[in-house]
Amino acid sequence: MYDHSKQYRCTIIRGKSQKEMDDFLPAYAKVIDEICPCDAEEFEQLFNNAFMRYLPESDRIKKTLDNHRTEISGKLFGMYYFSETGRVYESERTQKFLEDNDQPAFFKDICYKMQFPNGTQKVGTTVAERVKDGICIRPNAFLMKLLLVARTAKVELTKKDIGYYVLNSLDVLQGNANPYEVIEAISQDKKLGIQRNIDIPGKASSYCWQHINEQMNYLELANLIRFTDDKRVLLNPNEMETIELFAQDWDKKPEFDVYSYDLTTIEGRKIFQYEWDEYFARLSACVDKFETSAASLIVDVTEEPKQAEKKQQKGMNLTEFGDEGEQIVYDYEKKRVSDFNQRLANKVLSLGKTKGLGYDIQSVIAEPGDMAEFVKYIEVKSTKRLTCPDVNDNLWVDTLNITRNEWVAAQQHGKFYSIYRVYFTRDGIVMFVLQNVADKIDDGRMTIVPMTYRVDFSNSSVDAVIKPNAS
User: What pLDDT shows up at residue 459?
Assistant: 66
Question: pTM for this structure?
Answer: 0.88
Q: What confidence tens digit (pLDDT) does each residue in 370-379 have? A: 999 999 999 9
User: What pLDDT shows up at residue 378?
Assistant: 95
Name the DSSP class of 167: I
Residue 166 clears pLDDT 50, i.e. is over it? yes
Average confidence (pLDDT) over 344-365? 93
Q: Point out which residues pair with 38 in neighbouring strands.
A: 88
Domain spans of the chain, in order of start: 18-292, 324-442
90, amino acid identity: E
DSSP 386-451: SSPP-TT-TT--------HHHHHHHHHHGGGEEEEEEEEETTEEEEEEEESHHHHHHTTSS-----
Integer CA distances (angstroms), 356 to 36, 201, 353, in order: 31, 66, 9
* Spatial separation of the C-alpha atoms in residues 409 and 361, rounded to whole Å: 12
* Spatial separation of the C-alpha atoms in residues 441 and 144, rounded to whole Å: 45
User: What pLDDT shows up at residue 314?
Assistant: 45
Contact predicate 212/93, CB 8 Å:
no
Q: What confidence tens digit (pLDDT) does each residue in 34-68 have? A: 999 999 999 999 999 999 999 999 999 999 999 99
* Spatial separation of the C-alpha atoms in residues 128 and 170, rounded to whole Å: 16
Residue 316 clears pLDDT 80, i.e. is over it? no
Q: What angle do CA 176, 181, 186 make, to 5 degrees?
A: 120
18-292, what's its fold?
A: Arc Repressor Mutant, subunit A (1.10.10)
pLDDT-derived band at 313 (thresholds 50, 70, 90) equals very low
* Spatial separation of the C-alpha atoms in residues 423 and 193, rounded to whole Å: 43
DSSP strand E in 138-239: where? 225-227, 233-235
More confident residue, 452 or 415: 415
The mean-pLDDT minimum among 252-266, 341-355, 444-458 falls in 444-458
309, amino acid identity: E
* Spatial separation of the C-alpha atoms in residues 15 and 351, rounded to whole Å: 42
User: What pLDDT shows up at residue 465?
Assistant: 72
Residue 312 clears pLDDT 60, i.e. is over it? no
The mean-pLDDT minimum among 211-220, 318-327, 359-368 falls in 318-327
Average confidence (pLDDT) over 384-398? 90
User: What pLDDT shows up at residue 458?
Assistant: 67
For 308-329, b/e burial (b = at least 16 CB within 10 A) is beebbeeeebbeebbbbbbbbb
User: Cβ neighbours of residue 264 under 8 Å, at least 6 residues apart?
Assistant: 128
Residue 318 clears pLDDT 50, i.e. is over it? no
